[in-house]
């Protein structure tokens, strides 16, 4: 049975795409799992990276169709990408009368392919609209990448507690099986400013962070990840010392996520 994880944040520029792509490669190539990636972000950065890397089968079905239509089949490959189509995804916010239909269609699709894949990763747009809400309603897990600036830290409360689309509201009313894996600081730099923000985060929101044996999970900022994304490859295949160092740091974080999801 497929386990679905959505990457969500109500603020852009947090490096969500890099985590989605590298996590997909991790599950597919390191853990040898059958992986489905759904890109609901009209900026289609996740789609672009995976297509460039040629590591997955790109479906003929665009991601907007999973919301707008009743789709019950997808290509039978071990690693499949359902890519974003920006114009149709953007139009969806102009059809509020169809929002319930969008959610039901996406939920029906996930159920239809549940035996075909082990993992489904959904990347969402940063706005709390019907695409993000639909993904949260149908998923088993949610991971929230976060940049270490005050605006993003202040936004944690909104992400969790918004009266309509906050994670706690969704858990209570729409998706009680949704498990909040935690906040994942991303693109972390060893500057006094970021160290202070990380200290504030651990002081006030420690229960929301992901614990590791060495402290709390975080992804360091490195050119190796950006370079890997630019060519659509797993960071561990880049063949540079900086890439090996980046993967040494990322691997225990991804292993922890897999452990929380009970992926073996």
- For the residues of 169-197, what is the DSSP string, one character each? HHHHHT-TT-EEEEEEEESB--SHHHHHH
Report the C-alpha gap between 128 and 165 in whole angstroms. Answer: 7
pLDDT at 191: 85
What phi, psi does 121 have (nearest 5°)?
A: -110, 125
Burial of 201 (C-beta count, 10 Å sphere; 0-12/13-18/19+) = buried
Parallel, antiparallel or unpaired: strands 141-147 and 211-212 = unpaired
CB atoms within 10 A of CB 17: 22
Per-residue pLDDT band at 12 (split at 50, 70, 90): low
Report the C-alpha gap between 14 and 187 in whole angstroms. Answer: 8
Report the C-alpha gap between 13 and 62 in whole angstroms. Answer: 24
pLDDT at 189: 84
Report the C-alpha gap between 210 and 218 in whole angstroms. Answer: 8
Report the C-alpha gap between 259 and 220 in whole angstroms. Answer: 21
Contact between 5 and 145 (Cβ < 8 Å): no
Per-residue pLDDT band at 238 (split at 50, 70, 90): very high
Instruction: Name which of 8-22, 137-151, 225-239, 248-262 the model is least confident about.
Output: 8-22
Q: What is the pTM of this model?
A: 0.95
What are 204-218's pLDDT values in tens digits? 888 999 999 989 999
What is the average pLDDT score of the chain? 91
Q: Does an H or E element contain 38, and which?
A: strand 35-39
Q: Higher model confidence: residue 94 or residue 133?
A: 133
- Judged against a pLDDT cut of 70, whether residue 13 lies above it is answered with no
Question: CATH assignment of 3-260?
Answer: 3.40.50.300
Mean pLDDT in residue range 38-48: 94
Mean pLDDT in residue range 29-33: 97
Alpha helices per DSSP H over the chain: 16-25, 45-53, 63-68, 86-91, 99-112, 130-138, 150-154, 156-161, 167-173, 192-204, 223-231, 241-260
Report the C-alpha gap between 122 and 182 in whole angstroms. Answer: 16
Contact between 106 and 113 (Cβ < 8 Å): no
CB atoms within 10 A of CB 229: 21
- Judged against a pLDDT cut of 70, whether residue 93 lies above it is answered with yes
Per-residue pLDDT band at 155 (split at 50, 70, 90): low
DSSP code, position 209: B
In the structure encoding, which two tokens stand for residue 256, read together?
């922890």
In the structure encoding, which two tokens stand for residue 241, read together?
């010392």
What are 186-202's pLDDT values in tens digits? 888 888 888 888 888 88
């Amino acid at each position: 049975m497929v386990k679905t994880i959505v990457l969500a944040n109500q603020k852009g520029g947090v490096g969500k795409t890099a985590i989605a792509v590298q996590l997909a490669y991790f599950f597919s190539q390191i853990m040898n799992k059958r992986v489905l990636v759904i890109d609901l972000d009209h900026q289609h950065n996740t789609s672009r990276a995976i297509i460039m890397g040629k590591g997955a089968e790109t479906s003929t079905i665009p991601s907007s169709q999973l919301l707008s239509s009743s789709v019950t089949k997808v290509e039978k490959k071990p690693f499949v990408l359902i890519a974003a189509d920006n114009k149709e995804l953007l139009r969806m916010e102009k059809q509020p009368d169809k929002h319930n239909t969008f959610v039901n269609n996406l939920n029906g699709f996930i159920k239809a392919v549940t035996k075909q894949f082990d993992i489904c990763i959904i990347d969402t747009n940063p706005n709390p609209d019907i695409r993000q809400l639909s993904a949260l309603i149908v998923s088993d897990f949610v991971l929230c990448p976060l940049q270490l600036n005050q605006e993003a830290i202040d936004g944690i409360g909104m992400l969790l507690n918004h009266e309509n689309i906050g994670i706690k509201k969704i858990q209570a009313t729409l998706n009680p099986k949704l498990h909040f894996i935690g906040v994942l600081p991303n693109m972390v730099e060893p500057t006094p400013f970021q160290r202070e923000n990380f200290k504030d985060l651990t002081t006030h929101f420690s229960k929301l962070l992901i614990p590791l044996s060495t402290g709390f999970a975080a992804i360091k900022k490195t050119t190796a990840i950006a370079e890997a994304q630019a060519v659509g490859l797993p960071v561990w295949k880049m063949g540079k010392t900086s890439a090996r160092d980046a993967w040494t740091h990322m691997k225990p974080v991804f292993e922890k996520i897999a452990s929380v999801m009970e992926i073996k």
